[in-house]
Chain A
Amino acid sequence: MIEFKNVTKTFILDNRDEMTAIKNINVHIKKGEIILLEGPSGSGKSTILSLIAALSKPTNGEVTVDGKRISKLSDDFTSVFRRENIGFIFQKFNLISTLSAKENVMVPLIPSNPDEIILESRMSELFEKFSIQSKMNILVKNLSGGEQQRVAIARALVNNPSVIIADEPTANLDKKLSLDFIDIIKKLKDGINTIIIASHDPLFFDLDFIDKTISIKNGEMI
Chain B
Amino acid sequence: MKNKFNIHLFEFALSSIFRRGAKNIFIFFVFTLLIFLLSSVLFISNSFKSELDKTVNVLPSIIVQRLLAGRQVSIPTSRIDKLLTIEGVSKVIPRIWGYYYFAKAGVNFSLIGIDDFGDQYKKSYSRLVEKFDFSKLTYKSQMLVGKGVEAILKSNYYDGYFNFIKPDGDFVKMTIGGVFKGDTRLESNDVILLPKQKALEIFGMSDDVATDIVLKVANPVEIPNIAKKISQMYPDCRVITKEDLVKSYQNIFDYKGGLFLVLFVISAFTFFMIIYDKASGLSSEEKKEIGILKAVGWKIDNILKEKFYEAFVISFLSFITAFCLSLFYVFFMNAPILRNIFIGYSTLKPDFILPFSFNFQTFSIIFFLTVPIYIAATIIPSWRVATMDAEEVMR
Bound together, the chains give a CA A123 to CA B296 distance in angstroms of 16
Task: Establish whether residues B299 and A75, one from each chain, have CB atoms under 8 Å apart when the complex forms.
Answer: yes
**Highest count of chain B CB atoms <10 Å: which of A83, A99, A107:** A107
| Residue picked from B289, B292, B300, B302, most chain A C-beta under 10 Å | B292
Contact residues on B (Cβ < 8 Å of other chain), bracket = 20 to 34
Known A-B contacts A46-B395, A94-B288; A76 and B295 likewise in contact (beta carbons under 8 Å): no
Residue in chain A with minimal CB distance to B393: A94
B15 touches A99 (CB 8 A): yes
Stretch at the interface among A110-118, A171-179, A181-189: A110-118
Cα-based distance from A63 to B9 in the complex (angstroms)? 31
Q: Could you tell me if B9 and A110 are in contact, using CB atoms closer than 8 angstroms?
A: yes
Asked if B391 is an interface residue, CB under 8 A from chain A, the answer is yes
Contact B295 A82 (CB under 8 A): yes
CA distance A110 to B8 in the complex (A): 6
**B391-A56 in contact (CB<8A):** yes
A82-B296, A111-B299, A155-B296 are contacts. A55–B8 as well, Cβ < 8 Å? Answer: no
Specify the chain B residue showing the minimal Cβ separation from A90.
B394
Q: How far is the CA of A108 from the CA of B297 in the complex (A)?
A: 6
What is the CA–CA distance of A155 and B293 in the complex, to the nearest angstrom?
12
Q: Is A50 an interface residue (CB 8 A)?
A: yes
Contact B19 A94 (CB under 8 A): no
Q: Does A64 contact B (CB under 8 A)?
A: no
**Which of chain B's residues have a CB closer than 8 A to the CB of A55?**
294-295, 390-391, 394
A50 to B19, CA, bound (A): 29
A78 to chain B, nearest CB (A): 9
Contact of A76 among B6, B7, B293, B300 (CB under 8 A): B300
Q: How far apart sit A125 and B389, CA to CA, in the bound complex (Å)?
A: 33
Q: Does B6 lie within 8 Å of A113, measured CB to CB?
A: yes
Query: Contacts A55-B295, A94-B288, A98-B19: A111 and B302 contacting too (C-beta < 8 A)?
Result: yes
The chain A residue with its CB closest to the CB of B387 is: A75
CB neighbours of A114 from chain B (8 A): 8
Contacts of A96 in B (CB 8 A): 289, 292
- A119 vs B6: C-alpha distance when bound (angstroms): 13
A80 adjacent to B8 (CB under 8 Å): no
Determine if A103 and B299 form an interchain contact, defined as CB atoms under 8 angstroms apart. Answer: no
Contact with B along A82-105 (1 / 0, CB 8 A): 111010101000111011000100
- Pair A79/B299 contact, Cβ less than 8 Å: yes
The 8 A CB mask of A53-86 against B (1 = contact, 0 = none) is 1011000000000000000000110011111101
Taken together as a complex, chains A and B put the C-alpha atoms of A170 and B231 apart, in Å, by 100
| Assembled-state Cα–Cα distance A94/B393 (Å) | 10
* CB of A25 within 8 Å of the partner chain: no
From 17 to 58 in chain A, residues with beta carbon under 8 angstroms from any chain B beta carbon are 46, 50, 53, 55-56
Q: A106 vs B295: C-alpha distance in the bound complex, in angstroms?
A: 14
Contact pick for A79, options B12, B298, B389, CB 8 Å:
B298
Residue of A nearest to B9 (CB): A110
**With A53-B295, A113-B6 given, is the CB distance from A76 to B395 under 8 Å?**
no
Q: Which applies to chain B's interface (DSSP): helix, strand, loop or mixed?
A: helix
Q: Which of A88, A98, A99 contacts B295 (CB 8 A)?
A: A88
Do residues B4 and A113 form an inter-chain contact, with CB atoms below 8 A? yes
With A113-B6, A113-B9 as known contacts, state yes or no: A50 contacts B391, CB within 8 Å.
Answer: yes
Interface residues of B in 287-320 (CB under 8 A from A): 288-289, 291-302
The residue in chain A whose Cβ has the minimal distance to the Cβ of B20 is: A98
Contacts of A82 in B (CB 8 A): 295-297
Alpha-carbon separation in the docked complex, A155 to B298 (Å): 14
Among A56, A84, A95, A103, which residue has its beta carbon within 8 angstroms of that of B297? Answer: A84
Known A46-B395, A55-B391: A103·B15 in contact at CB below 8 Å: yes
A2 CA to B300 CA in the complex, in Å? 25
User: Which residue of chain A lies nearest to B6 when distances are taken between CB atoms in the complex?
Assistant: A113
Query: Measured between C-beta atoms, what is the minimum distance from B358 to chain A in Å?
Result: 39
Residues of B within 8 A of A98 (CB): 19
Beta-carbon contacts under 8 Å, B117-170 to A: none
B387 → chain A closest CB, angstroms: 8
Contact call B8/A106, Cβ cutoff below 8 A: yes
Known contacts A96-B289, A98-B19, A110-B8; decide if A88 and B299 are in contact (CB<8 Å): no
CB proximity of B364 to chain A, nearest CB, Å: 32
| In the complex, per-residue mask of B380-395: 1 if CB is within 8 Å of any chain A CB, else 0 | 0000000001110011
Q: Mark B1-13, 1 if CB is under 8 A from A, else 0.
A: 0011011110010
Q: A46-B395, A55-B390, A110-B12 are in contact. Are A79 and B297 (CB under 8 A)?
A: yes
A-B contact pairs, 21 of them (CB 8 A): A50-B391, A55-B294, A75-B300, A76-B300, A76-B301, A79-B298, A79-B300, A80-B299, A84-B297, A90-B295, A90-B394, A94-B295, A95-B292, A99-B19, A109-B8, A110-B8, A111-B6, A111-B298, A111-B299, A113-B4, A113-B8
Show the binding face of A for B, using Cβ within 8 Å: 46, 50, 53, 55-56, 75-76, 79-84, 86, 88, 90, 94-96, 98-99, 103, 106-111, 113-114, 119, 155, 159
B positions within 8 Å CB-CB of A: 3-4, 6-9, 12, 15, 19, 288-289, 291-302, 389-391, 394-395
Q: Which 3 A-B pairs have the closest CB atoms?
A: A83-B297, A108-B296, A79-B299
Can you name 5 extra interface pairs (CB under 8 A) apart from A79-B300, A94-B291, A114-B8? A81-B297, A82-B295, A83-B297, A111-B6, A113-B4
